[in-house]
Amino acid sequence: MKTFSTYDPEDFYDELIVADGSPRPGARLLVDMIESLPAGDLALRQKAAEALLLKMGITFNVYGREEGTEKIWPFDIIPRIVSADDWQQIESGLKQRIFALNEFIQDIYNAKKILKDKVVPEDLIMTSRTYRPACEGFTPPKGIWCHVTGTDLVRDSDGLIYVLEDNLRCPSGVSYVLENREVLKRTFHQVFEASRVRPVDGYPSKLLEMLEYLVPEHIVSPTIGVLTPGIYNSAYFEHSFLSQQMGVELVEGQDLVVDNGCVHMLTTKGLKRVDVLYRRIDDDFIDPEVFRPDSLLGVKGLIGAYKNGRLALANAPGTGIADDKVIYAYVPAIIKYYTGEDAILPNVPTYICRDDDDRAYVLEHLDQLVVKAANESGGYGMLVGPHATAEERADFAEKIKAEPRNYMAQPTISLSRVPTIVGDRIEGRHVDLRPYVIFGEEIYVQPGGLTRVALPKGSLVVNSSQGGGSKDTWVL
């Protein structure tokens, strides 16, 4: 079976195959290896990988159906390959971006220089749902706000890599990067060794080092925990995985109490003080005294202990202001403001609906644009114009008119594709890339990140909650 002979990249940028059907330089070993497999072998390997994922219980939960419905992580064994040159640009671009965003968050909760200099409109910040007045005047330990970021990158048909959005609250998916790699090592080990793929498994150590860096220096043996909403959360697997890999506690809100101004865990032998929490609960739910009073997931008094320096939190509450999808449009200006440099990774062109001209354009061109709500994630609250019905577009137009501040729009990007197993053949499917960045003593970018793939033919939505899957990402 000539596996790639019938493969057609069409008019899209393909990450593995160039237009004439031959492999890109870094992909040759892999493509040759797949070509040399006996008929049906690739499908068998795919099945074996899926069986492995099922056995290992690598799952995520989907909301909106029966509570806590567990789904096996959809995974395609053909990896996506990123060349060393591309990676160099991505890595330096992300370091620059995250550094600037951290400066930005510190600034807007404190001196507000960037607002006074009118680089970012003040009302935009003050009307953001993710702005936290509770953080005003506060500087977190070591001045770091966004300890862990997952920034979504896409490649357009012009071959250029763009930043699609920033995720600074509780970005998830990194555990799948590590597990995908485990599965691929077993599936394609020969190619894997010969290709000198950069390892990804340093992530838990880097994360732990960062968390330890946040502890005041006099504490010798800190207690560190991952704070999870519990097993019904969509990313529960990841919370459990990371705490296991770091060898730290996995705690729920019900395991913690604030006593004497400090946060403690309830153990079989009484209370035990906690020094750092990698929290995976959103701001809204983390402390019913400060944020949503109806939250059962959080811990009463947690924010008080945090603000008094008795506890470090990663990510800091309030970071969400920088991943408001409208503020995203200002990030190139933010980078310029704090670093004096131009952004290494460009933004996708963005129309801001609160701006009259932009809004008029958006309403007129809904059939060509992707519209996103400022604070939704996971593929919810968005309109993919070209794929929507006239009725859906009309509904969305009303929403935009009613609440222009809350929407932005971008041209539909024809996301690059990667060959993907579909039944017994290989077809191109659209992908994005989410690298993970840890901001501790220095900024670390995990080589690769999560390649998410839109499994339905022609689909551009890669979120796992919307039927997306994933691939291993090989940085050469």
Partner 1 sequence: MPATPYRLKDCAYGNCKIRRKKMLSRVANTIYWMCRYIERAENVARFISVNLNLLLDMPMEKGNHWEPLVMITGDQKVFEKNYPDYDKKQVIRFLTFDREYPNAIITCLAAARENARSIREIISSDMWEHLNNFYLELSDNCSPDFALSDPHRFFKIIQMRSHLFTGLMDCTMSHGEAWNFARIGMMLERADKTSRILDVKYFMLLPQADLVNTPLDNIQWSAVLKSASALEMFRKRYHRITPRNVADFLIFDEGFPRSMRHCVAKANVCLNRIDGSAPTGPPQNAAEKQLGRLEADLTYTDIDEVIDQGMHEYLDGMQTRLNRVDTTIGTTFFNIKLAANTGVQEQ
Distance in Å, CB of 55 to partner 1, minimum: 6
CB 454 within 8 Å of CB 461: yes
Distance in Å, CB of 270 to partner 1, minimum: 4
Q: Closer to partner 1 by CB, 122 or 441: give it.
A: 441
List helix spans (H) across 262-328.
Answer: 283-286, 302-307
Contacts of 180 (CB under 8 A, 6+ apart): 75, 450, 470, 471, 472
Residue with tokens 């763009």: 162
Residue with tokens 């597990």: 179
Distance in Å, CB of 249 to partner 1, minimum: 7
Q: Closer to partner 1 by CB, 43 or 257: give it.
A: 257
Distance in Å, CB of 59 to partner 1, minimum: 9
Q: Closer to partner 1 by CB, 197 or 246: give it.
A: 246
Distance in Å, CB of 348 to partner 1, minimum: 37
Tell me the HSE value of 355 on the side-chain side, using a 13 A CA sphere.
13
The whole-angstrom separation of Cα 71 and Cα 73 is: 6
Strands 443-445 and 436-439: antiparallel
Contacts of 360 (CB under 8 A, 6+ apart): none
E strand or H helix at 471: strand 468-475
Distance in Å, CB of 230 to partner 1, minimum: 7
Q: Phi and psi (nearest 5°) for 108? A: -75, -20
| SS3 assignment, position 320 | helix
Other residues' Cβ atoms within 10 Å of the Cβ of residue 267: 10
Tell me the HSE value of 412 on the side-chain side, using a 13 A CA sphere.
18
Q: Give the pair of three-digit tokens for residue 25.
A: 């330089």
Q: Closer to partner 1 by CB, 100 or 258: give it.
A: 258
Distance in Å, CB of 390 to partner 1, minimum: 43
Q: Closer to partner 1 by CB, 18 or 219: give it.
A: 219
Distance in Å, CB of 28 to partner 1, minimum: 34
Closest of 93, 70, 99, 82 to residue 25, by C-alpha? 82
The whole-angstrom separation of Cα 241 and Cα 168 is: 20
Q: Is 398 exposed, middle or buried (0-12, 13-18, 19+ CB in 10 A)?
A: exposed
Other residues' Cβ atoms within 10 Å of the Cβ of residue 47: 12
E strand or H helix at 150: strand 148-155
Q: Closer to partner 1 by CB, 74 or 379: give it.
A: 74
Distance in Å, CB of 110 to partner 1, minimum: 25
Distance in Å, CB of 272 to partner 1, minimum: 4
Q: Closer to partner 1 by CB, 58 or 331: give it.
A: 58
Q: Which residues bind partner 1 (CB under 8 A)?
A: 54-57, 202, 205, 209, 212-213, 217, 220-221, 223, 230-231, 236, 240-241, 243-244, 247-252, 254-255, 257, 259, 264-272, 441
Q: Closer to partner 1 by CB, 267 or 368: give it.
A: 267
Q: Closer to partner 1 by CB, 85 or 217: give it.
A: 217
Distance in Å, CB of 275 to partner 1, minimum: 11
Task: Please give the full DSSP string across 78-96, using - where no structure is assigned.
Answer: EEEEE-HHHHHHHHHHHHH
Q: Closer to partner 1 by CB, 20 or 66: give it.
A: 66
CA distances to 11, 375, 407 from 401, rounded to whole Å, are 35, 17, 9
Q: Closer to partner 1 by CB, 162 or 236: give it.
A: 236
CB 146 within 8 Å of CB 443: no
Q: Give the pair of three-digit tokens for residue 256.
A: 């913690």
